[in-house]
Structure 1
Amino acid sequence: MADSDTSHRTIAGEQGVWHPFLPGVTIKVLRERGGVMSYLLRLEPGAVLPRHRHPCDEECIVLEGCLRIGSQFEIGAGSYHLAHAGALHARITTDTGATIFLRGAVPHAEQVLE
């Protein structure tokens, strides 16, 4: 495969830039196209993602740590979570800190309900 081949894209773990997103949360955008984004979120211990709506399906894989979604359940490393379009997502917290991969709508402030 030639170095100029654009049919694939790889971003090594040390590549890319982490940006502040919410208190205790940073974001690293991997790809954005047509209103859909693939990105990583890194949550520090005690960080909170407020309640929010999903305009399109959003897929999440926990890479490290553990998340608590509302008071219903916890998901740990290797877990997959799908929030369907239109779904109200409960508050997400972490005691351990976590790194997650997400693919869904580009996050906007108007999606937050708290």
Structure 2
Amino acid sequence: MKTRQDIAGFLLRITLATGFLSAVASRLNLWGAQSSGWKNFVQYTADVNSFLPASWAPVIAVLSTTAELIIGILLLVGFQIRKTTLSASVLTLLFAIAMSISFGCKEPLDYSVLVFSAGAFLLSTCSHYPWSLEQLLHYHHLKFNIMSTSINNYIVKTEQKEWQPLIEKGIHYEGIFVKSLKFDPEQNRSTTILLKFEPGASYPYHNHPAGEELFILEGDAVIAGGNLKKGDYLYTPPSFKHSVTSENGCIILFIVPEEVEIL
């Protein structure tokens, strides 16, 4: 399942990248006789943005083409993927809105612009991006840190990291957010994490093949019927099964040697 999701994310990234780059190539006559050409694109830009002064069309055409070129290249090589896909989602959504205003809602539906925008947004929610420059740089950074003698290379400034929605195997767990503290390149997953549960959030019944350790940093949680509060520590042995719920919300430090199995 994990391999299939990695392949799906990779194909979505490459498809989005080639879509942007192909459009730019067509405007610059790189597709030969099949190219739309720059003059036609400027005219199309004026038509799409008919609610704006026609004199703005050349500027909008240059700005949008530049943005699409940068987005396409970054997605193709796989760098700053989350920020790039969010930018791509917003850009194509604005395009769809402009098309709807000028031509009616049928036009963006026919050209699948909203699908493009939604696909880019979906890719931005992925927890990791395999077969990318981003992953390669992260892996080499970890290898450098292993050889480093500076303690600063082992410190994780958690306050500088953003909470990310918890998404595992394509499932988005509502109300649960994660910060990665230690990433294992061999397993391609984080083994030490912070999880933040919003009030009422819950993680489903699951198994820990290699056990786990956790420490309650804030709030309280219920695990296998046990009430844990701030300052409590819990070790669960291998193959221990339980769920996690938090009525009032909490932040928990988890050490999970192997990936959990949802039951």
**C-alpha deviations, 1:63-89, integer Å up to 9, x for none?**
00000123x220001100111111112
| Residue 220 of structure 2 is aligned to residue 61 of structure 1 | no
* 1:106 CA displacement: 5.0
Aligned to 2:103: none
Runs of 4+ in structure 1 deviating by more than 6 angstroms, as ranges, are: none
SS in 2 for 1:105: coil
| Residue 241 of structure 2 is aligned to residue 88 of structure 1 | yes
Unmatched runs of 5 consecutive residues or more in structure 2? 1-147, 167-172
- Which of the residues 132, 150, 156 maps onto 1:11? 156
- Which of the residues 185, 194, 217 maps onto 1:40? 194
- Measure, in 2, the Cα distance between the counterparts of 1:59 and 1:48: 18
How many aligned residue pairs are there?
106
CA pair 41-106 structure 1, distance change in 2 beyond 3 A: farther
Aligned to 2:176: 25
**C-alpha deviations, 1:30-51, integer Å up to 9, x for none?**
1022446010000000000111
| Residue 204 of structure 2 is aligned to residue 50 of structure 1 | yes
Unmatched runs of 5 consecutive residues or more in structure 1? none
- Give the % identical residues: 29
* 1:55 CA displacement: 1.5
Structure of greater relative contact order (alpha carbons < 8 Å, 6+ residues apart): 1
Aligned to 1:105: 257
Verify the 8 A CA contact 2:207 2:239 in the aligned structure 1.
yes
- Measure, in 2, the Cα distance between the counterparts of 1:43 and 1:105: 21
**C-alpha deviations, 1:6-51, integer Å up to 9, x for none?**
5551122312232111110001001022446010000000000111
Aligned to 1:74: 227
Using the size of structure 2 for normalisation, the TM-score is: 0.37
SS in 2 for 1:17: coil
- Measure, in 1, the Cα distance between the counterparts of 2:250 and 2:236: 18
SS in 2 for 1:62: strand
Using the size of structure 1 for normalisation, the TM-score is: 0.82
Which of 38-47 and 6-15 deviates more? 6-15
Which of 9-18 and 74-83 deviates more? 9-18
- Measure, in 2, the Cα distance between the counterparts of 1:28 and 1:107: 16
Which of 9-18 and 23-32 deviates more? 9-18
Name the Cα RMSD after superposition. Answer: 1.9
- Larger radius of gyration between Structure 1 and Structure 2: 2
- Measure, in 2, the Cα distance between the counterparts of 1:47 and 1:6: 39
